[in-house]
Amino acid sequence: MRCKIIKNFLDFTIKVLFFTFFALTLLPVMKKTIYNKFGKEKIVDLPRVTFEGRIVLVLSEHEAEKAVRFLLSQPILGIDTETRPSFTKKQMNQVALLQVATHDICFLFRLNLLGMSPAVKRLLEDTTVPKIGLSWHDDLNMLKKLGDFQTGWFIDLQDHVREIGVQDMSLQKLYANFFGRRISKRERLTNWENSILTDKQKVYAATDAWACVMLYEELMRLEETHDYELVETEEDEQI
């Protein structure tokens, strides 16, 4: 009797597993939808995303040395810069802030105080850790006005999104497209040379650098798995 119960149980289990496997093979594979162009008017309705990790201000060469030592021990970094806005064509301000982020910590190097310090130069010249940026060629040119350096290992997100057919180049549109979340750009035109940065400025700067890491890792995943569907939209019907 006991052997019969066990046999019936095993038969039932095998049938369940078989039909489950059969059903799964018939289900359509849900791929991530990516748009070649993402309409800016759609971004305002998305939930906002901000960096929620630790933010560390770097104000001295000693602090910069400690920060760079830590950053160069990480597997990947997101990087961006901020410059005090100029509202006249003749005036061009120098880079005031260099933000460098991991998944959970972001260092804000106040270049208007540090300049091209030895530690900052070592970070920018490093060839062992990939540093992910957006439109990074322009940032490099601005940074080299503070002091010359040999360009290290930098990866520009714009090159990779083109590879999968995405035409938008702004960080805000890319993040909305890939993650369905909104990065606020409200602090972009604030004074990055202020003696004290506001909390909103710090979070804004950290979010931009951190978002570069998140986007790059998602792009690598999609390129490897092909787990996405590119939807091409017309100019007047951008999603």
Q: Please tell me the distance from the alpha carbon of residue 213 to that of residue 93, in angstroms, as a whole number.
A: 27
Higher pLDDT, 75 or 168: 75
Instruction: Summarize pLDDT for 201-217 with one digit per residue, the tens.
Output: 999 999 999 999 999 99
Sign of CA dihedral 119, 122, 126, 128: negative
pTM for the full predicted model: 0.84
Q: Please tell me the distance from the alpha carbon of residue 115 to that of residue 122, in angstroms, as a whole number.
A: 13
Tokens of 48: 């906002």
Q: Please tell me the distance from the alpha carbon of residue 239 to that of residue 234, in angstroms, as a whole number.
A: 9
- Domains observed in the chain: 29-237 (3.30.420.10)
Q: Where residue 16 falls among pLDDT bands split at 50, 70, 90?
A: very low
Q: Where residue 40 falls among pLDDT bands split at 50, 70, 90?
A: confident
Instruction: Summarize pLDDT for 81-129 with one digit per residue, the tens.
Output: 999 987 777 778 899 999 999 999 999 999 999 999 999 999 999 999 9
Position 158 pLDDT exceeds 70: yes
Helix (H, G, I), strand (E, B) or coil at 30: coil
Tokens of 136: 């990074």
Q: For residue 160, how many other CB atoms are within 10 A of its CB? A: 17
- Share of the chain residues as helix, strand and coil, in percent rounded to the nearest 5: 45, 15, 40
